[in-house]
Amino acid sequence: MIVVLKKNATEADLHTLSEEIEKRGYQVHLSRGVERTLVGCIGAPEKDKDLLADQFAAFPFVEDVVRILKPYKIVNREFQPERSQIRIGNVVVGGDALVIMAGPCSVESREQLLETAHGAKAAGAHILRGGAFKPSTSPYSFHGLGEEGLKLLAEARAATGLPIITEVMDTRDVELVARYADCLQVGTRNMANFSLLRELGEVRKPVMLKRGMSATLEEWLQAAEYIASRGNYEIILCERGIRTFEPYTRNTFDISAIPACRELSHLPIVADPSHATGKRTLVPAVVKAAIAAGADGVMVEVHSRPERALKDGPQALTLIEFAQLMRDLEPFAAAAGRPLKQGEAETE
């Protein structure tokens, strides 16, 4: 449930309430808005909630006690009406400006990564993506360079100034990946890996949580809640397409997931048209559609030589195509009221 404090509530009042919640064995989650401070009381069993609500409402500094009926609480827009802004390095996701994440599916070599990173940066990308630990449907395909790939990403960050996002697949690698990455990505195949989500809740780095390929919005938001419930609120959602009966595209991009998530949650949401379509010719149109639907940014696979890519070559834009896309995006971004250039890092 959410306890809404009165406007004139003091820090001491907040402390009193937090103690009351914790004494009962429940978790306190804070949302400090411009108007009001909201205190989430998480973990109370259903049967105790009526009594608890009455007890909290009895404090003179409490304005209201509201029950959140949805199974996700902390990431629910009811808990925090203002949209969250998540900082990745010096880039803000969920602010006014759109965020463009670009880079190869996998880190393959120093030359490949640096060439792609420099090209992406020159075209206007804000964040460099690249997988060092790759999930693969086949056990025989390329699984990434591991720590060597993370080192190359760190080198590319130093060379370009772009913050880096990379996937973590295993609880045993969380600490290692967090040491190098500015943002940790959870892939579609791991959205429901609850031990990984719990582990990421302990990390103090942003996490981008991709939607499971067969997950409902409610399952996806509960996966985000796993991370938030451990105290890491730095979460970005990523719609990357879902499984349908249509084989022409790799997945089916669920455009309505974007406005739906904006209604349901305060977390920023970005779109990944590369994995959604699986075809480079379709990527630009879906990028534009996602921006029109309210996405806070996009993640696009770009490769300096897609014909030599070890993974996902057919969906990778060449550097020339990516640069063209960035130019074409300008009027779309302007029409959506979202600048394409990050200003000075915004504060909340």
Binding site residues, ligand PEP, CB under 6 A: 105, 131, 135, 187-189, 210, 240, 272, 275
Q: Which residue is nearest to Mn ion (CB)?
A: 105
Task: Return the range that interacts with Mn ion (CB under 5 A); candidates 15-23, 116-124, 308-316, 329-337.
Answer: 308-316
The rounded distance, in Å, linking the Cα atoms of 41 and 28 is 5
Q: Which is nearer to Mn ion, 105 or 169 (by Cβ)?
A: 105
CB of 312 vs Mn ion, minimal distance in Å: 4
Parallel, antiparallel, or unpaired for β 269-271 and 99-103? unpaired
The answer to whether 225 contacts Mn ion (rule: CB under 5 A) is no
The answer to whether 167 contacts Mn ion (rule: CB under 5 A) is no
Q: Which is nearer to ligand PEP, 131 or 206 (by Cβ)?
A: 131
Q: How far is CA 222 from the centre of its chain?
A: 14
Q: Please provide residue 124's backbone torsions phi and psi, each rounded to the nearest 5 degrees.
A: 115, 10
187 binds, among Mn ion, ligand PEP, none (CB under 5 to 8 A by kind): ligand PEP
Q: Which is nearer to ligand PEP, 41 or 215 (by Cβ)?
A: 215
SS (H, E, C) 29-91: EEEECCCCEEEEEECCCHHHHHHHHHHHHCCCCEEEEECCCCCCCCCECCCCCCCCCEEECCE
Residue type, 271: A
Binding Mn ion (rule: CB under 5 A), the pick from 102, 105, 120, 309 is 105
Q: Is residue 269 within 8 Å of residue 258, measured between CB atoms? A: yes
Q: Is residue 71 within 8 Å of residue 223, measured between CB atoms? A: no
CA distances to 131, 281, 304, 306, 315 from 92, rounded to whole Å, are: 21, 29, 26, 29, 26
Q: Which residue is nearest to ligand PEP (CB)?
A: 187
The answer to whether 197 contacts Mn ion (rule: CB under 5 A) is no
Q: Where do we find the tokens 């004139």?
A: 8
User: What residue ranges in the chain does DSSP mark as E strands?
Assistant: 2-5, 27-32, 37-42, 62-66, 86-88, 91-93, 99-103, 127-129, 164-167, 183-186, 207-210, 235-239, 269-271, 297-301
73 binds, among Mn ion, ligand PEP, none (CB under 5 to 8 A by kind): none
135 binds, among Mn ion, ligand PEP, none (CB under 5 to 8 A by kind): ligand PEP
The answer to whether 312 contacts Mn ion (rule: CB under 5 A) is yes
Q: Which is nearer to Mn ion, 1 or 213 (by Cβ)?
A: 213
CB of 96 vs ligand PEP, minimal distance in Å: 26
One symbol per residue from 261 to 300: x for binding Mn ion (CB under 5 A), - otherwise; what is it? ----------------------------------------
CB of 250 vs ligand PEP, minimal distance in Å: 9
Q: Which residues lie near Mn ion (CB under 5 A)?
A: 105, 312
